[in-house]
A and B are shown apart, each in its own frame.
Chain A
């Protein structure tokens, strides 16, 4: 299956700052990548679908100006959390693939 990496694996930032999370598909050309958020003991919540070369598609209730997504190439998508607040603290995971979705290892964001 596809190998997906995320960077950083953990990040702690202060409230009001911005954080960029990278998702790389190492051996799969991904025209589409998915970004999820997962709170403790809860399931994955789809935030947005990242489309290579075009705008991302955001799920209802997800602020596109706060969660900026850039899918610059077939192997890289980035999620930038702007003006982060403590309530943005969560586990962010990306995935690629068709019916077999392959997930990255996740990025744990803590906003203090």
Chain B
């Protein structure tokens, strides 16, 4: 079983739609949860991070963590064509000596 599971997609939505991206994990020691956006042939870019359980909002993006279910989500409101990219979830324990990444979900927002 992988440490982090993420549906690879692709996920195709019309412009303006609400997008839900999800990851599940197996290690209850994870405390930090991150979402990265990666455009083709580029390095990942940090979008949001959350510590422990709860929600965090930043503009059109909302990250949710449910540690009891070992499930994290990223919601994108009013999606734009520029949001088209691969979204990677990542998580770590408290010492940051290793990060575990999901396989990435490819999102396509159609104009």
Residues of A within 8 A of B (CB): 1, 4, 6, 32, 34, 41-44, 46, 49, 91, 93, 95, 98-106, 108
Contact of A104 with B43 in the complex, beta carbons under 8 Å: yes
Choose, from B11-19, B61-69, B73-81, B97-105, the stretch at the interface.
Answer: B97-105
Q: What residues on B are CB-neighbors of A104 within 8 Å?
A: 43
* Contact for B43 among A32, A42, A103, CB less than 8 A: A103
| Sample of 15 more A-B contacts, CB < 8 Å, known A44-B88, A46-B99, A49-B98 | A4-B43, A42-B104, A43-B88, A43-B103, A43-B104, A91-B41, A93-B44, A99-B34, A99-B51, A100-B49, A101-B46, A103-B45, A106-B41, A106-B43, A108-B41
Q: For residue B106, which residues in chain A have a CB less than 8 angstroms away from its CB?
A: 41
Residues of B within 8 A of A98 (CB): 96
B interface bracket (residues with beta carbon within 8 Å of A): 20 to 34
Cβ–Cβ contact B102 & A43, under 8 A? yes
Interchain CB contact under 8 A, A99 and B98: no
A100 cross-chain contacts in B, Cβ below 8 A: 34, 46, 49
Inter-chain CB contacts under 8 Å: number: 52
Whether A44 pairs with B44 at a CB distance below 8 angstroms is yes
Main secondary structure of the interface of A (DSSP, over half): strand
With A41-B8, A99-B49, A102-B46 as given contacts, are A46 and B41 in contact (CB-CB < 8 Å)? no
Query: What are 17 contact pairs spanning A and B, CB under 8 A?
Result: A6-B43, A34-B99, A43-B102, A44-B44, A44-B88, A46-B98, A91-B41, A95-B43, A99-B51, A100-B49, A101-B46, A102-B46, A103-B36, A103-B45, A106-B41, A106-B42, A106-B43
B71 within 8 A of A: no
In this complex, which of B46, B51, B102 has the most chain A Cβ atoms within 10 angstroms of its Cβ?
B46
B53 within 8 A of A: no
**Which A residues touch B43, using CB under 8 A?**
4, 6, 93, 95, 103-106
Query: In the bound complex, how far is the Cα of B95 from the Cα of A49, in angstroms?
Result: 13
Cβ-defined partner of A101 (8 Å) among B6, B8, B90: B90
